[in-house]
Structure 1
Amino acid sequence: MSAYSTIVVGTDGSKSSMLAVERAAKIAAAFNATLVIGCAYYETKEDASKTLRQDSVTVLGTDPAQENLDKATEHARAMGAPTIRTAIRPGTPVEALMSIVNETNADLLIVGNRGINSLTGRLLGSVPADVARQSDCDVMIVHTVN
């Protein structure tokens, strides 16, 4: 396994996403890697309603997204992540994470497994499954919910 230098993790402020942040921070500490914590947001309620993803937290606007990132950054710092950056992107979680991964030339993307076994996830796709298909870097899906 090659060393990871840039690790991206997504958060929506949920408890399960914070478990993914915790795992990502520990891996970043082990590899002395930069951890980039990303959060997606919808610009309007209409944009959010188009996704039909009822299994994820809907973040409207940059203020709630920034609050999620602040909380996740504090948690990652407590877990020993040496260097932490944050990124907020409009759009779906998949669009935002893929944008962040590509912009940062990430070596590893870490996401929680929430939604992967839901009916919506099976019918429409889940964030973990979708990013795993689209990503050019390694993807780690952290078991965060049963």
Structure 2
Amino acid sequence: MSEPASAYSTVVVGTDGSESSLRAVARAGALAGACGATLVVACAYLPTEADERELARAQDVLGDEAYQVVGAHPAEDTVRTAAERAAAAGAGKVRTVAVMGSPVETLLDVVRRENADLLVVGNRGLNGIKGRLLGSVPADATRRSQCDVLVVHTTD
């Protein structure tokens, strides 16, 4: 008889500081706590010197999926707040990372670097027409992830 599959040991969750993403963080925190897993809270951000036209263009195309965080200091504040929310939900071991880059690439990079066995994302952007036509962070991350992905229902 083979050994049963073990619980998750490292869980990665992404946040942009929005209430929707913080709901995913809370669910990831509760799950990580229940499994005794380490939770890594990640936030992607644009550099503060990003061209304002580039930011406006991204928001026109992506709407709600555009960057919520610009700059390393706001990103650090975002992950600190998210880590508090995760701990309140039950996470025992929480680490935070703020990485300059696109949300999907950042999440996948953190999953690889941390050797994570679960990625948690919110469902914001999955149901809208823009998300279906252009892709969304949860859809792209789910499709490209090399580990299990939990999509948390975070939008009404």
TM-score normalised according to structure 2 size: 0.88
Which one of the candidate residues 39, 42, 49 is aligned to 2:43?
Answer: 39
Aligned to 1:130: 140
The amino acid of 1:132's aligned partner reads T
Aligned to 2:122: 112
Aligned to 2:21: 17
Quote how far apart the aligned CAs of 1:80 are. Answer: 1.6
Percent pairwise identity: 51
Which one of the candidate residues 7, 10, 30 is aligned to 1:6?
Answer: 10
Quote how far apart the aligned CAs of 1:48 are. Answer: 3.5
Which one of the candidate residues 76, 81, 88 is aligned to 1:71?
Answer: 81
Task: Name the CA distance, whole Å, in 2 between partners of 1:67 and 1:47.
Answer: 23
For structure 1, the residue ranges without an aligned partner over 5 or more in a row are none
The amino acid of 1:99's aligned partner reads D
Which one of the candidate residues 136, 140, 143 is aligned to 2:153?
Answer: 143
Aligned to 2:110: 100
Partner SS for 2:104: helix
- The more displaced of 127-136 and 42-51 is 42-51
Quote how far apart the aligned CAs of 1:112 are. Answer: 0.4
C-alpha contact 2:17 2:68 (8 A) present in aligned 1: no
C-alpha contact 1:55 1:120 (8 A) present in aligned 2: no
Quote how far apart the aligned CAs of 1:2 are. Answer: 3.5
Which one of the candidate residues 54, 57, 66 is aligned to 2:63?
Answer: 54
Task: Name the CA distance, whole Å, in 2 between partners of 1:24 and 1:68.
Answer: 16
Matched, 1:26 2:35: no
Task: Name the CA distance, whole Å, in 1 between partners of 2:92 and 2:136.
Answer: 30
What count of residue pairs does the alignment treat as equivalent?
Answer: 146
Q: Which runs of 4+ in 1 moved over 6 A?
A: none
TM-score normalised according to structure 1 size: 0.94
Larger radius of gyration: 2
Task: Name the CA distance, whole Å, in 1 between partners of 2:105 and 2:64.
Answer: 17
Task: Name the CA distance, whole Å, in 2 between partners of 1:123 and 1:88.
Answer: 28
C-alpha RMSD of matched pairs (Å): 1.4
The amino acid of 1:123's aligned partner reads L
- The more displaced of 47-56 and 25-34 is 47-56
Task: Name the CA distance, whole Å, in 1 between partners of 2:45 and 2:15.
Answer: 11
